[in-house]
Amino acid sequence: MDIETVIEGRAFVNGELSYTEIGISEGKIVAVGGMVRGGDERIDVGTSGLILPGFVDPHVHFRDPGMTQKEDFSTGTLSAVHGGVTCVLDMPNTKPPVTDIDSLRSKKSIVRGRAYTDYGLIAAVTPGCRIGMMAPYVPGFKLFMGSTTGNILVNDDEDIAAIMEDIRITGKRLSVHAEDDSMIIKGEQENCTRDHLRDRPVEAELNAIRRLGRYSDCKINICHNTTAAGLELASSYGFTTEVTLHHLLFDVDKDTTAEYKVNPPIRDAPTRDALWNAFLKGKATMFGTDHAPHTLAEKTEDFDSAPGGIPGVETTMPMVMNMVRQQMISLSMAVNMGSANPAKAFDINKGGIAVGKDADLAIFDLRKVSEIDVKKLHSKAGHSPYGGKQAVFPDTVIIRGGIQMQDGEFCGDRIGEDICGRL
């Protein structure tokens, strides 16, 4: 096989950073070593560049179809590329929600040809849905134990048991919004994030995870964990876990406005600090941005009326890379949580620099730190609670061998493909 492109420089391979040449052909990595011959094009990233596997975001809400005034597949994936993300898993609570083969087929058709990154479409599980029929065409499924957009809440133990039997047979991973809906207070006036926390207590998260514990023989991923206790409990059952930056960084007594309203809610400082310490100790499996854009007009309504959700697909991994620059976390942790672990959890042929993997790469220069400028972000949301925070954005992003960004400038096209194919 003729090698088309060779990328050379310091690369993260087999858990180590060393000089490497990476041969690419037909969208795949075909050679990795100290010297790779051939290549119509050779890209030398220099001594300051770090060649990493492209990041995989297992949890985004691109609002397409039905709510494209907030985000659509083009703007969402364009934001992802600028954050070094080369593959996203999009959640099913759109309008209509993806709950059967017809709604899945429709959404696949709507977003096809509009993505700048590769993607997978997650389907929601509801009582009686044909999980086995959808399984070949999705990277995983989503269970909402807490209320969300659309009529897809499932919090009854009998319904969950039947769903888990079907999930077990498919071998697919089930991501869970783990908040016990029976423990969420509804109808009370909320004026700030402290009120929102009152209505969605920690115990709702912990009890939902406990109820799932009987299904430790299923592949379960607990989304957006907000507590160290939740991480420990989920891990004890063998579940994978996500953490978001908003739960790691914000707290209810400092970050009080609707900009920070999200489900599950940001917690108090002691809970946040315990989660942070657990994260630093490697207790979480992966980052999930839970990118949930709403319009600025919606987020500046009175708190009670404002929707919950925070955009983050463009800013999360650049902020994580700044943590690496500051030596708060290791490069290995950033790559594992941002790329290798989510790819492995959802059986995606990405997440590493190795022969046979998709040629997805993100190249960073840790010297190029900047402050996040909300006006320069690419989401339709037009706002972010991360404005002014330090980040290291990627210099170059490559998806299946196609250059989407180079020297910090976007130069790509809508080359994104559905990782589970057409239906």
Q: Residue 1 is which amino acid?
A: M
Within 10 angstroms of residue 246's Cβ, the number of other Cβ atoms is 25
Sheet holding 118-121, edge to edge: 55-60, 85-90, 118-121
Residue type, 147: S
The single residue of 290, 358, 360, 418 carrying the catalytic annotation is 290
Residue partners of 108: CB distance under 8 A and separation at least 6: 121, 137, 418, 422, 423
Asked whether the beta carbons of 227 and 265 are under 8 A apart, the reply is no
Q: Is 290 a residue of the active site?
A: yes
The C-alpha atoms of residue 193 and residue 293 are separated, in whole angstroms, by 18
The dihedral region occupied by 282, where left means phi > 0, alpha psi between -120 and 50, and beta the remainder, is: left
Q: How far is CA 224 from the centre of its chain?
A: 10
Residues annotated as catalytic are 290
